[in-house]
DNA sequence: ATGATCTGTCATGAG
DNA sequence: GCCTCATGACAGATC
């Protein structure tokens, strides 16, 4: 059997290679597509497989594409298809560009507010600390910082370049804050851009914090294992706490450059808000938040992090002493900052894909090899012969096939193939003669279908049956049974006597127990007829012969067992098909899940962009404001704030700062 | 030799 | 009641 498989496998491969050499393209997709209907029919079973056995539909018309549902070829087939679909899915998935805006901002130690919120778990942002005191080489790295500020960084492990005050000046609006607790004494004074500090102080998400947090949790839960592992590595997170790692950095924690970069990106997300963005303002939540008045009682949880009601609190350090420029603002949690972290989201998305689509490197390499093969066949053809040999489809559609489908147990096959006698296309006269001689029973006919099937399965059998050699090449096994009815075949004339005995033995082995019994009982017709004839014809057939009670009993048993055998095969096929369908459903659901996750990532990214836009607009508006003397307002002394009617007010910084503090307390109280 | 799997068979119930 | 089919369970065959 194995040797025959190998034989056919090699033959198939060689044939494919030949096709390739002569320019005939073997298209994998076409191959699979064209294979699918018959294969699916095999798997699902032709209509007859799920219905009553149709006597007039006995022949298997699967055109040789039959693959036994339990055959390894079927697994290979679906594996290949799944891999193909996964590869194609890669086209659809656009890996988001990772944009990391790294800003190292130091907080004034007086920012006690920040110290009071380390447990928030969210990104703590420096409100005023724009001074870069990460190292003495700040100036040297300024240029690259600026460059890194605008360019997309794909490598999250990249070192975050320090940011100098000049640089911030250059990019006051687009601040991706890094929350770091840096000792104040290390901060060089006078390196502050107050305009930036409110951005760093906190941003208000247009979405509900709780919702965002739940969304994040849902994402993280789905990717708990993988995200946990990777995030720990990537973000230097404490084990088991990827969220806090992503969103916060404990105060007084020395700056880890890798972490700093990531934190910077988080901050960048968090600082964006929709103050001036029409699109964002149109959002219900955003508009509601922006309309919040200065009254402290109206401040919400979001205000602490995205205080649109108090723009001063956002854009200015909450703590303004005499040298406000030197102070760092409180670190406020930013719910969206972490959510919008592209690096995290990308990773989630990618890992989700990797997990849910089950596309690992091994499979990819295997698939690649398959596609790289000269044959052009992506399917593992090494098993194809077995699939041909075990034509499950025949069993499902015809009674004859049911007996023959069990190739390995051909010796125990219950019935000869009534329909396949002709379907096989085998027309060995000698065979008929030998069988009749061996049987000694009138009307008993050999099972040519089994010959054919065995010829597929065992090359040795094929070789010992030279007259069967053609079976492997022609496909006349689908011919009408009547055309090749063995009973009508003339005796062979060219068969050698030496092979006759082998054939007889072989046929004898191929006979099922019931066939042996029938022969022993001298039943005058084939088991196929016994099993597959409609009851009326069956009774009519019985009436034509004078049969003993024992013979009649045996015939009934043969019929019952034969039908039950087919029923069992169909039943098992259905069971297997159900499993396969469920498997496909699971895969589909996993793909949907991955797609939804990708969409969510895109939405969050879009939100971040809008917030950045608003941020820049704020900078622009504030920068154009002039006092009565024509001088610009100091960001440390004034801030913009939304009024309840939607207008924007310029209010003193102290007032804004007070409000910001109130808004910070609210969420804390809520948590209590 | 042994366990897993395949396959045929029986018993039973339903249509 | 008979026939057929579906299916769980079992056992032998096969891998």
Residue closest to sugar C1' of C15 by CA: A408
**Low-confidence winner among A253-267, A475-489, A496-510, A633-647 (lowest mean pLDDT):** A475-489
Residue closest to sugar C1' of C3 by CA: A535
CA of A330 to C1' of B8 (A): 79
Q: Is the CB of A487 under 7 A from strand B?
A: no
Confidence tier at A520 by pLDDT (50, 70, 90)? confident
Residue A171 lies in a domain: no
* Strand B nucleotides where any atom sits below 7 Å of a protein CB: 5-12
Residue A650 lies in a domain: yes
Pairing mode of beta strands A638-642, A105-106: unpaired
Residue A262 lies in a domain: no
Residue A515 lies in a domain: yes
State what percent of residues in chain A have pLDDT above 90.
8
The SS3 assignment for A106 reads strand
What's the mean pLDDT when you consider all of chain A? 49
What is the CA A30 to chain-centroid distance, rounded?
Answer: 23
Pairing mode of beta strands A648-652, A179-180: unpaired
* Strand C nucleotides where any atom sits below 7 Å of a protein CB: 3-9, 12-15
Residue A271 lies in a domain: no
In the prediction, which pLDDT does A657 show? 83
In whole angstroms, give the CA distance from residue A329 to residue A321. Answer: 11
The tokens describing A75, both together, are 């697994």
Counting the structural domains of chain A, the total is 2
In the prediction, which pLDDT does A664 show? 82
8 Å CB contact between A269 and A334: yes
Residues 386-445 of A with CB under 7 A from strand C: 408-409, 411-412
In whole angstroms, give the CA distance from residue A72 to residue A77. Answer: 8
Q: Is the dihedral of CA A147, A150, A154, A156 positive or negative?
A: positive
Question: N- to C-terminal Cα distance for chain A?
Answer: 74
Q: Which nucleotide is nearest to A51 (CA to C1')?
A: C5
The tokens describing A288, both together, are 């509601």
**A102-126 pLDDT tens trace:** 334 334 333 333 333 333 333 333 3
Highest mean pLDDT range out of A282-296, A318-332, A365-379, A544-558? A544-558
Q: Which residues of A88-112 are buried (b: 16+ CB within 10 A; e: fewer)?
A: eeeeeeeebebbbbbbbbbbbbbbe
Residue closest to sugar C1' of B15 by CA: A52
Picking from A544, A565, A582, the residue at the C-terminal end of a domain is A582
**Low-confidence winner among A482-496, A505-519, A615-629 (lowest mean pLDDT):** A482-496
CA of A558 to C1' of C4 (A): 14
In the prediction, which pLDDT does A168 show? 66
Q: Is the CB of A516 under 7 A from strand C?
A: no
Cβ neighbours for A6, distance < 8 A, ≥ 6 positions apart: A382, A385
Confidence tier at A8 by pLDDT (50, 70, 90)? very low
Confidence tier at A522 by pLDDT (50, 70, 90)? confident
Average pLDDT for A67-94: 42
In whole angstroms, give the CA distance from residue A219 to residue A597. Answer: 8
- What's the CATH number where A563 sits? 1.10.880.10
Q: Is the CB of A534 under 7 A from strand C?
A: yes
Residue A465 lies in a domain: no
Residue A22 lies in a domain: no
8 Å CB contact between A639 and A314: yes
What is the CA A596 to chain-centroid distance, rounded?
Answer: 11
Residue A551 lies in a domain: yes
CA of A167 to C1' of C1 (A): 97
In whole angstroms, give the CA distance from residue A659 to residue A431. Answer: 101
**A392-447 pLDDT tens trace:** 333 333 333 333 333 333 333 333 333 333 222 222 323 332 333 333 332 223 33
In whole angstroms, give the CA distance from residue A194 to residue A624. Answer: 15
Q: How many CB atoms lie within 10 A of CB A646?
A: 10
Q: Is the CB of A509 under 7 A from strand B?
A: no
Picking from A582, A601, A625, the residue at the C-terminal end of a domain is A582
Q: Is the CB of A574 under 7 A from strand B?
A: no
**A648-660 pLDDT tens trace:** 888 888 888 888 8
In the prediction, which pLDDT does A641 show? 82
Q: Which nucleotide is nearest to A536 (CA to C1')?
A: C3
CA of A567 to C1' of C4 (A): 10
A533 lies in which domain range? 511-582
Q: Is A121 left (phi over 0), alpha (psi -120 to 50) or beta?
A: left
Place of tokens 């130690």: A109
The SS3 assignment for A639 reads strand
Confidence tier at A498 by pLDDT (50, 70, 90)? low
In the prediction, which pLDDT does A644 show? 78
Confidence tier at A662 by pLDDT (50, 70, 90)? confident
């Amino acid at each position: 059997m194995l040797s025959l498989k190998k034989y056919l496998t090699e033959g198939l491969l060689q044939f494919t290679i030949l096709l390739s050499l002569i320019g005939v393209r073997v298209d994998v997709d076409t191959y699979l597509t064209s294979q699918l209907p018959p294969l699916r029919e095999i798997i699902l079973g032709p209509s007859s497989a799920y219905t009553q056995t149709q006597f007039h539909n006995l022949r298997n018309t699967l055109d040789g594409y039959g693959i036994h549902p339990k055959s390894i070829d079927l697994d290979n087939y679906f594996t290949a298809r799944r891999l193909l679909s996964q590869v194609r899915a890669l086209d659809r998935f656009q890996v988001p560009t990772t944009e990391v805006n790294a800003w190292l901002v130091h907080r004034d130690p007086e920012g006690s507010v920040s110290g009071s919120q380390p447990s928030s778990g969210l990104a703590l942002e420096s409100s005023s600390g724009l001074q870069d005191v990460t190292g003495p080489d700040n100036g040297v790295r300024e240029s690259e910082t600026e460059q890194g500020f605008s360019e997309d960084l794909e490598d999250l492990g990249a070192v975050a370049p320090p940011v100098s005050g000049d640089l911030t000046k250059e990019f006051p609006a687009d601040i991706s804050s890094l929350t770091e607790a840096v000792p104040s004494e290390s901060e060089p004074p006078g390196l502050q851009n107050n305009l930036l500090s409110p951005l760093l102080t906190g941003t208000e998400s247009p979405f509900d914090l709780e919702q965002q947090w739940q969304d994040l949790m849902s994402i993280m839960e789905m990717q708990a294992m993988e995200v946990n592992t990777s995030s720990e590595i990537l973000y230097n997170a404490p084990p088991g706490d990827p969220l806090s790692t992503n969103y916060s950095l404990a105060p007084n924690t020395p700056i880890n450059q890798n972490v700093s970069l990531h934190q910077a990106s988080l901050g960048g997300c968090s600082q964006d808000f929709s103050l001036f963005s029409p699109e964002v303002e149109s959002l219900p939540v955003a508009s509601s938040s922006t309309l919040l008045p200065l009254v402290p009682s109206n401040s919400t949880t979001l205000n602490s992090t995205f205080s649109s009601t108090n723009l001063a609190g956002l854009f200015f350090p909450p703590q303004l002493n005499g040298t406000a420029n030197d102070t760092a603002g409180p670190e406020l949690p930013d719910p969206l900052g972490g959510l919008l972290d592209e690096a995290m989201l990308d990773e989630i998305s990618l890992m989700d894909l990797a997990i849910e689509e089950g596309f690992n490197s091994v499979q990819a390499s295997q698939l690649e090899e398959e596609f790289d093969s000269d044959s052009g066949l992506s399917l593992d053809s090494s098993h194809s012969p077995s699939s041909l040999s075990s034509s499950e489809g025949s069993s499902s559609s015809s009674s004859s096939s049911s007996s023959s489908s069990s190739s390995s147990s051909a010796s125990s096959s219950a019935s000869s193939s009534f329909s396949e006698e002709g379907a096989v296309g085998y027309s060995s006269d000698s065979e008929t003669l030998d069988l009749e001689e061996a049987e000694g029973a009138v009307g008993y006919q050999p099972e040519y279908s089994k010959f054919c099937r065995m010829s597929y399965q065992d090359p040795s059998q094929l070789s010992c049956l030279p007259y069967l050699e053609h079976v492997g090449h022609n496909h006349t096994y689908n011919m009408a049974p009547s055309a090749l009815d063995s009973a009508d075949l003339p005796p062979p004339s060219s068969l050698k006597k030496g092979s006759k005995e082998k054939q007889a033995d072989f046929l004898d082995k191929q006979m099922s127990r019931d066939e042996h019994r029938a022969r022993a009982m001298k039943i005058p017709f084939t088991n196929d007829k016994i099993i597959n004839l409609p009851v009326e014809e069956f009774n009519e057939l019985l009436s034509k012969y004078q049969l003993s009670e024992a013979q009649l009993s045996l015939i009934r048993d043969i019929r019952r067992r034969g039908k039950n055998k087919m029923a069992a095969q169909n039943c098992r096929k259905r069971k297997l098909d159900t499993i396969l369908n469920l498997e496909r459903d699971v895969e589909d659901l996993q793909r949907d899940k991955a797609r939804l996750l990708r969409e969510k990532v895109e939405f969050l990214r879009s939100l971040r962009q809008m917030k950045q836009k608003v941020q820049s607009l704020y900078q622009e508006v504030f920068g154009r404001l002039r006092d009565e003397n024509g001088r610009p307002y100091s960001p440390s002394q004034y801030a913009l704030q939304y009024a309840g009617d939607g207008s924007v007010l310029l209010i003193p910084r102290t007032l804004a700062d007070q409000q910001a503090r109130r808004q910070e307390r609210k969420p804390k109280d809520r948590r209590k």
